Each structure stands twice: as structure tokens, then as C-alpha cells.
Amino acid sequence: MKKMFAALTAVATVAAVATVVSTPALAADDMAGMDMSAQPSATKSATNAALTDAQVMHVDAASGMVTLKHGALENVGMPPMTMAFKTKDTGMVKRVHEGDKVKVRVENVGGALTIVKLEKQ
């Protein structure tokens, strides 16, 4: 019994040593070639800041609303559709007319989807 225990212990020791030897050691400079300057949050916010193509369908200066036929608004999870949006400021309403092609950035501001950036094309 002692011989069997000694043999099993020897086999287990050899297996453990083989595992340690076959596992490559990580050098301290393994990540030396990686560019660590890009931050995931910066990349995400850059993607989210993208403007979406749209066409002005209606302008209601009295209410400060602009109806857009727009592409997908990824940052607010909205598929392409036609919808009226509040504008961040009245100047946006004055700059656009029905039929204008625009690029927009829509965000949820105080619970209301709002055009926060608008560029005429």
C-alpha cells in the first residue's frame, strides 16, 4: 500500500511539474507592442456622436418642432422613420425648410427626444 501511495504521489508530482513546464510564462513586456492610448469610452462616444442623414418634412416654428424622415438613430435605439422632434434652440427651426436635406444628432434630453445638432447639406 505504501509503495502504491508513493507511486501515485510520484505520478502526481511529475504531472504537476509537466503542467508548469508546458505552460508558457508571461513576460513583463508581452503587451509592449499594444497601443494603450485608445480608450474604449472615447471610441464609444465618438461613434455615438455620429450624425444621421435626414430630410425635413415639416417645420412648426410656433412649437419649436421639426418633423424628420431620418435614418437609424443608433444612440437612442430608434430605427429609420418619420417623426417630430423638439429642437435644442429656436435657431435650428429658423434655419431649415421643408424638403431640406440635413444631418442631425438626436438625444434624450429631459425625457424628450431632441435635435441637439443640425447641419444643412
Q: Which domains does the chain have, with CATH numbers?
A: 50-120 (2.40.50.320)
104 near 68, Cβ under 8 Å?
yes
pLDDT at 5: 52
Check: pTM over 0.75? Answer yes or no.
no
pLDDT, position 41? 45
Distance CA 106, CA 26 (A): 46
* Low-confidence residues in the chain, pLDDT < 70: 1-48
Name, in order, each residue with C-beta under 8 angstroms of 89's C-beta and a sequence gap of 6 or more: none
Query: What pLDDT is attached to residue 49?
Result: 73
Q: What is the pLDDT of residue 1?
A: 55
